[in-house]
Amino acid sequence: MLQELERLLLVQQHDLEAREIAEKIAALQKRRASLQQAFAREDADFAAQKKQFEELKRRSRERSAEVDDLDTQVRQDEQKLKSGLASYKEMEALRRRIEQNRQRINQLSDEALALLAQVEEEEPKIRAAEAAFHKWKKKIEEELAQIDEEISTQQKALATAHERRAASVAQIDPALLQQYEHLRHRHPNPIALVQNGICSGCHLRVSEIALERLREGAEIVTCENCSRLLYLK
């Protein structure tokens, strides 16, 4: 095999290695993005559940506070009636207001009790959901950390592959390198082994003339079918 082709084979090895590493990095980044999207969805869903529960508690507190306020108002009005200091007209107005407020208290008390029952029913559910969410979140964060570490490792390996390639490229004839780079745009493996008269790149038979030239080893030979650079072992 020509020495130039041997050097070019080494470049191809670096290129294939870099390609494989780049694909690993892309897959890791895709997985990372998928996890982040899943986390965003779950976080939004749990936040919505928590917000709904907080709204339920707020309504329960408001109803209870309304009952307390009305009860205080009724007690104050009853004290005024007992004092006898109000006029007849004022006393009648106080009696009507007391009756209305008592009716309202009964209505609001029922609502407050119903809301409180809902809060007591939902609270264990939201606590369980919160615990499950934080457990899942921890698992996702650990996986993301592992992915980031692996991406960092692969990026260093990719940089090393590029450095090795650069060192190998420096020893190759520019014209041959240009031919190789042109082929690399079409084939990930621009250099192919010929086995039993078959090009390992396109899997088609190589002509006898090309095989003879390969055996002689005096020049660079290309596949008549796919244009790859050929070599024999």
Distances (CA, A) of 13 to 7, 31, 76, 113, 138: 10, 27, 93, 75, 40
CB 5 within 8 A of CB 220: yes
Phi, psi values for residue 18, rounded to 5°: -65, -40
Which of 171, 187, 211 lies at the terminal end of a domain, its last residue?
A: 171
Q: Are residues 29 and 81 in the same domain?
A: yes
d(CA 57, CA 39): 27
Cβ contacts of 194 within 8 Å, gap of 6 or more: 200, 206, 211, 214, 230, 231, 232
Q: Which residues of the chain have pLDDT under 70?
A: 1
Helix (H, G, I), strand (E, B) or coil at 218: coil
Which of 153, 171, 189 lies at the terminal end of a domain, its last residue?
A: 171
Q: Are residues 40 and 140 in the same domain?
A: yes
Q: Are residues 27 and 133 in the same domain?
A: yes
Q: Are residues 111 and 26 in the same domain?
A: yes
d(CA 216, CA 213): 5
Q: Are residues 130 and 209 in the same domain?
A: no
> Angle CA(14)–CA(18)–CA(24) in degrees, nearest 5?
150
Q: Are residues 70 and 130 in the same domain?
A: yes
Q: Are residues 112 and 183 in the same domain?
A: no
| Confidence at residue 1, expressed as pLDDT on a 0 to 100 scale | 57
Phi, psi values for residue 231, rounded to 5°: -150, 160
* Domain around 197: 173-233
Burial pattern 93-103, b for ≥16 Cβ within 10 A else e, equals ebeeebeebee
CATH number, domain of 30, equals: 1.10.287.1490
Q: Are residues 96 and 205 in the same domain?
A: no
Q: Are residues 166 and 181 in the same domain?
A: no
Q: Are residues 15 and 129 in the same domain?
A: yes
Which of 141, 171, 201 lies at the terminal end of a domain, its last residue?
A: 171
Q: Are residues 160 and 187 in the same domain?
A: no
Domain count, the chain: 2
| Confidence at residue 2, expressed as pLDDT on a 0 to 100 scale | 79
Q: Are residues 155 and 201 in the same domain?
A: no
**Which residue has tokens 């009305």?**
70
